[in-house]
Amino acid sequence: MIITRDKYLAEIMRFKDTEFIKVITGVRRAGKSSLMAMYREHLKALGVADEHIVYINFENLEAIKLRDKQPLIDYLLANSDKATKMYYLFDEIQFVEEWEDVINGLRVTFDADITVTGSNAKLLSGEIATLLSGRYVAFEILPLSFKEFLQFKQLDSQDYRHYPKWFAEYRRYGGFPAVVLAEEQSKEIILSGILDTVLLHDVGYRAEIKDTEVLMAINRYLMFNAGQIISMANISNTLTSARVKTTIPTINRYLGMLVNAYLFSAANRYDLRGKQYLRAQPKYYPIDTGLRNITLGKSGDNQGSELEGIVYNELKRRGYSVDVGQLANGKEIDFVARKMEEILYVQVTQEIPVASDRETDNLIRVPGNYDKLLITGVQSLPDSIDGIPVRNVYEWLLDD
């Protein structure tokens, strides 16, 4: 049974029958293929005939022979009709060499609606930017939100009494659909499989990394220090202390690969006074708390950092670009979230410290009259502190 993710499907449908190629990206097992299947079924429900839909999953055994450019072109020419609208759905397109040429050729040759998926951010760089400039729209699919988590488990989102228990499960195991729907005893096994596939296949194999020890060590370092200020030198020193030999250029290269595989997102640091991005190293947030906990072999530690990651990913789901705000004297705003003309400043804390105004004080220092919000992990809260709205994380995550 396919459980629809209506928000993403609606975004795809907005660009149905337009000139724009729809590029669906995101971490492996986040639901890209399921979204493609939803779109395919929706097309059929709208009356599109099967013979006018060409669907290929390039990870399937039957499609291996189509990973070369010319056999794929021959197949498409033999299964396309110039006299009608054709719908092309290509899953994991990055397996095809010179796939950009094929997609551009389809766009020029046929009356085509084209949708592709891929598990690497490089899908949107390089030649595609030249060949398809201004002709594609990109959608990043993230693991399930807390609201989707409740929907997939068929739980009543209005049953406030169970929020702490449900959120504890979401926090521990994350939002990968296969993990959410699995039995308790299978969740960690599935998470380990996802992590190994991303690290060893999507990163290690494709980059031809023969010794993955450094890659695994960097992943563990980033998971442990999620949301913290890091430096190449600190990573290098930590790995050297653990007798893992590497170099700073190698660390920097592997960091880029982990971000390209959507295992982490990088939040750049932005000077709120000078209104410019800083050259300092960004903060890194895991795409899913389940992957963090399966990497570290524990949960419950550093809950504030983990909560930050959940809020960061939810802001991205809601269409914000998210940076870390830098104030004077080393003070920070956890997140500066921008969407069109809207700017939202967010502080995140597991609990509001007793006799401390640090969280709200930072927000008060923000220049300009912009929306501000304090999100906490506890339930009993005042509505505001020093004029700053305060929201419990459960309520905020379930907002429309």
- pTM summary value: 0.92
Q: What pLDDT sits at residue 355? A: 55
Contact call for residues 168 and 54 (beta carbons, < 8 A)? no
Query: Which residues are registered as beta bridge partners of 328?
Result: none
Determine the Cα–Cα distance for residues 147 and 397; give it in Å rounded to an integer.
7
Sheet holding 53-57, edge to edge: 53-57, 86-91, 112-118, 21-25, 136-140
72 is written with which tokens? Answer: 């794929």
250 is written with which tokens? Answer: 């190698």
DSSP codes joined into one string, 76-105: HHHT--TTS-EEEEEESGGGSTTHHHHHHH
The DSSP code for 203 is I
Determine the Cα–Cα distance for residues 379 and 359; give it in Å rounded to an integer.
17
Q: What angle do CA 222, 141, 317 make, to 5 degrees?
A: 80
Q: What angle do CA 294, 297, 301 make, to 5 degrees?
A: 100
Q: What pLDDT sits at residue 248? A: 92
Q: How many CB atoms lie within 10 A of CB 315?
A: 20
What H or E segment, with its residue span, contains residue 40?
A: helix 32-45
Query: Which residues are registered as beta bridge partners of 265?
Result: 285
Helix axes 213-224, 289-296, angle to 10 degrees: 120
Q: Which residues of 348-370 are buried (b: 16+ CB within 10 A; e: fewer)?
A: bbbebeeeeeebbebbeebeeee
Q: What pLDDT sits at residue 34? A: 92
Q: Sign of torsion, CA 99 103 109 114?
A: positive
* CA 93 to each of CA 101, 284, 317, 339, 361: distance values in angstroms, whole numbers, following the listed order: 12, 27, 23, 29, 48
Per-10-residue mean pLDDT, the chain, length 400: 81 94 92 93 95 95 94 96 96 88 92 91 63 82 96 85 90 96 96 95 83 92 92 92 91 92 93 82 94 82 84 96 88 92 92 66 80 87 84 88
Q: What pLDDT sits at residue 126? A: 54
Q: What pLDDT sits at residue 118? A: 87
Q: For strands 283-286 and 321-326, give the pairing.
A: unpaired
Q: For strands 21-25 and 283-286, give the pairing.
A: unpaired
* Nearest residue to 71 via CA among 58, 85, 53, 82: 58
* CA 245 to each of CA 214, 242, 309, 388: distance values in angstroms, whole numbers, following the listed order: 8, 9, 29, 48
**CB under 8 A, 24+ apart: contacts of 192-196:** 192/294, 194/28, 194/29, 194/291, 195/291, 195/294, 195/295
Determine the Cα–Cα distance for residues 241 and 183; give it in Å rounded to an integer.
39
Determine the Cα–Cα distance for residues 309 and 44; give it in Å rounded to an integer.
38
